[in-house]
Amino acid sequence: MIKGFPAVMAKLIKEFSKMPGVGVRSAERLTFHILKSSAEDVKALSRYIGEVKERVQFCEKCNNLSECEICSICSDNKRDPGKLCVVSSPNGVIAMEKANAYNGLYYVLLGELSPLDGVGPRELKIEGLLKRVKDENINEIILSTNFTTEGETTALYIMKLLEPFKIRVTRLARGVPVGASLEYADGATLQRAYEERR
């Protein structure tokens, strides 16, 4: 129990402090902020928290975050269906989209291989990727997993899996700092990494 606060405030502080990067101090500050906010703002906040949880799902085709069964990128017919960019997480899609360098489709693995943590190929959405490679007319797969040990391991693993398909497989060039997640690379760097892919 957080001492000195009315019980309901203590409960909210406890919930906030479960969030990543939020300690008890910040949780207290957020709670005071809520208390000072207008009733309207607080209503909007609580509504969107509920709606995000209720409405956001994984796209059935690419596993990206979406409000519909098929996400807005997969259903955009202005995008090049011959290119498939493979990323580890929805953050990768967001980073690539922000960089504005890519106009193909995506596939999100929802994880990266990490044998030490017990994350093997079964924990990743690899089946769906192979199905798309078989069923669709894809000319190029761009491996855009993170430049971390796990990301590189994952890229190598998928490269091997794709060998029998005789498809062009490229990897983002090393503009992105080693050890970095895509989401921390700035747009220009990602753009260059994409253009210089091999």
Does position 59 interact with Zn ion (CB under 5 A)? The reply is yes
Does position 87 interact with Zn ion (CB under 5 A)? The reply is no
Stretch that binds Zn ion, among 56-64, 110-118, 127-135, 179-187 (CB under 5 A): 56-64
DSSP state of 119: B
Q: Work out how close the CB of 66 gets to Zn ion at its nearest, in angstroms, rounded to a whole number.
A: 6
Stretch that binds Zn ion, among 5-13, 52-60, 81-89, 131-139 (CB under 5 A): 52-60
Task: Give the separation between CA 182 and CA 162, rounded to whole angstroms.
Answer: 22
Which member of 64, 144, 146, 154 binds Zn ion (CB under 5 A)? 64
C-beta atoms surrounding 36 within 10 Å: 9
Please return the burial class of 30, using the count of CB atoms within 10 Å of its CB with bins 0-12, 13-18 and 19+. Answer: middle
CA Rg value for the chain: 21
- CB-wise, 12 or 126, nearer to Zn ion? 126
Which member of 61, 83, 171, 192 binds Zn ion (CB under 5 A)? 61
The answer to whether 102 and 96 are in contact (CB under 8 A) is yes
The answer to whether 66 and 88 are in contact (CB under 8 A) is no
Which member of 62, 93, 99, 155 binds Zn ion (CB under 5 A)? 62
Q: Work out how close the CB of 74 gets to Zn ion at its nearest, in angstroms, rounded to a whole number.
A: 3
Residues in contact with Zn ion by CB under 5 A are: 59, 61-62, 64, 71, 74
